[in-house]
DNA sequence: TTTTGTTGATTGAACGTTCAATAAAAACAT
DNA sequence: ATGTTTTTATTGAACGTTCAATCAACAAAA
């Protein structure tokens, strides 16, 4: 079957299979054999394309982070109005699109959160994402709130988003996206109501 | 060394050693050998007292849940006034005491969250805790809000607490307990301000 | 002497990685 | 077009390592 230019195809297959495997049995039992079987390829191919299992896991986390960033950027790119409220709602929406709020992506996120505590490569990635969310929120809040207040609001909204998301991931009934978004919107409005910039 | 009545002592030692090991190297690398060494005993003793590694992990999660419940119950037991606001603040405080907001407990929590996605025993425990927090919040909010509003507020506050906690666990600088509590208090007050029960 | 608590070498299963072997496509030659 | 060589992609068995669990042997208290 070998054709030229398989690399990007295989990489996508394997990253997708990794998320599926984590969804099925968890990171601890997501063995290279299982992931390879899920992708319909041999186990050896993982080391060939990713240098090893760790490389595949890092690439998978990178993909998720990229998708999240793209989801936010897309919505911020086509805003009807350039108000802080509009930007902040777009950020919220992007975080709750998350390329899809699928069970497999949520489980993979959670697994990587736990794992990033002790793997420095993952920790770095996770940290970049955290700071991006916080500073995006902060710079928008700053357009209508003093610095200290903007920081407070950004921290609160970031916590609200992550908390809703975490509880959605853990809940057997899954995440109710509309309800979660409404709660985040409500919090946002209460923060903006402190200033007079309810756009 | 063998004396009678070692069981409770060994159990406490091993549960504590488990948290320490997870703090040191993560759940994935917290082997029975490492945990036993941390506790200063032989590896075999784990199977003897806990039936195996899984038993020890479940017991460790049970301990953390128990400590959390106790922290909340204690504060609710000595309230100056029997108002919803006072109860809700006690619940917040209890969640941010968490017996201690130590790095080892937070890392262990996060590891168990991820793990509970695929181990039914842990999932059951985690779910009990989740529902306890939610229904505690809900029943207090119900004292001054209509049912639907109370549920909404409970969901929001629960998400805020867990979100603050999660971000604190992930942040390299650790959790700023006072700041987190203040954000949760603020949210609480905004919810109560919707009714007229700002006690 | 019996009971209780503990050890640590051993066992077997499972894992990630490696690499010689292989197969198909691509490139080249005729 | 057709045959040949080279390149690229892939396999999967073998290897070495690591782990949890076991259990016969042992030690100290009762």
- How far is residue A195's CA from residue A190's CA, in Å, rounded to a whole number? 9
Contact (CB<8Å) B187/A183: no
Nucleotide nearest A1, CA–C1', reads C24
pLDDT at A5: 85
pLDDT at A35: 98
pLDDT at B1: 46
Distances (CA, A) of A51 to A2, A112, A177: 20, 19, 37
pLDDT at B100: 76
Cβ-nearest to B26 among A118, A160, A186: A118
Q: Which phi and psi angles does A99 have, rounded to 5°?
A: 65, -25
Which chain A residues in 45-74 sit with Cβ < 7 A of strand D?
45, 48
Lowest-pLDDT range, A5-9, A90-94, B87-91?
Answer: A5-9
Query: Is the pTM here over 0.90, yes or no?
Result: yes
Cβ-nearest to B107 among A26, A117, A163: A117
CA B83 to chain CA mean position, Å: 24
Is strand D in 7 Å reach of the CB of B41?
Answer: no
Query: ipTM of the predicted structure?
Result: 0.92
- State which nucleotides on strand C lie below 7 Å from a protein beta carbon: 4-9, 14-20, 23-27
Contact (CB<8Å) B166/A167: no
Interface mutation target, options B27, B107, B114, chain A, most CBs of A under 10 Å: B114
Give me chain A's average pLDDT, please: 95
Tell whether the model's pLDDT for residue A199 goes beyond 70: no
Å from B130 to nearest chain A CA?
A: 8
Over range A36-50, report the average pLDDT. Answer: 98
Residue among A39, A56, A44 nearest A119 (CA): A56
Å from A27 to nearest chain B CA?
A: 9
pLDDT band of A1, cuts 50, 70, 90: very low
Give, for all 199 residues of chain B, the pLDDT tens digit: 456 889 999 999 999 999 999 999 999 999 999 999 999 999 999 999 999 999 999 999 999 999 999 999 999 999 999 999 999 999 999 999 988 789 999 999 999 999 999 999 999 999 999 999 999 999 999 999 999 999 999 999 999 999 999 999 999 999 999 999 999 999 999 999 987 665 5
SS (H, E, C) B130-194: HHHHHHHHHHHHCCCCCHHHHHHHHHHHHHHHHHHHHHHHHCCCCCCHHHHHHHHHHHHHHHHHH
Contact (CB<8Å) A116/B158: no
pLDDT band of A196, cuts 50, 70, 90: low
Tell whether the model's pLDDT for residue A22 goes beyond 60: yes
Contact (CB<8Å) B114/A27: yes
Under a CB-based contact definition with an 8 Å cutoff, are residues B98 and B175 in contact? no
Crossing angle of the two packed helices B147-170 and A120-141, in degrees rounded to 10 = 130
- How far is residue B197's CA from residue A77's CA, in Å, rounded to a whole number? 42
pLDDT at B33: 98
Residue among A137, A136, A144 nearest A194 (CA): A144
Q: Give the model confidence (pLDDT) of B19-54 as tens digits.
A: 999 999 999 999 999 999 999 999 999 999 999 999
């Amino acid at each position: 079957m070998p054709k030229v230019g398989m690399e990007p195809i295989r990489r996508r297959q394997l990253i997708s299979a990794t998320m599926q495997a984590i969804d099925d049995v968890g990171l601890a039992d997501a063995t290279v054999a299982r992931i390879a079987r899920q992708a319909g390829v041999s186990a050896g191919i993982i080391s060939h394309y990713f240098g090893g299992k760790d490389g595949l896991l890092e690439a998978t986390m990178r993909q998720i982070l990229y998708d999240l960033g793209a989801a936010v950027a897309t919505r911020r790119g086509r805003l009807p109005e350039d108000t802080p409220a509009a930007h902040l709602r777009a950020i919220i929406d992007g975080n709750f699109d998350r390329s899809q709020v699928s069970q497999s992506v949520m489980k993979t996120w959670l697994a990587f959160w736990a794992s990033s505590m002790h793997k420095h490569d993952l920790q770095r990635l996770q940290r970049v994402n955290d700071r991006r969310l916080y500073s995006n929120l902060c710079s928008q809040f700053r357009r209508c709130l003093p610095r200290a207040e903007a920081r407070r609001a950004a921290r609160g909204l970031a916590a609200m988003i992550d908390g809703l998301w975490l509880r959605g991931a853990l809940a057997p009934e899954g995440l109710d996206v509309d309800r979660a978004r409404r709660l985040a919107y409500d919090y946002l409005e209460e923060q903006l109501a402190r200033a007079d910039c309810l756009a």
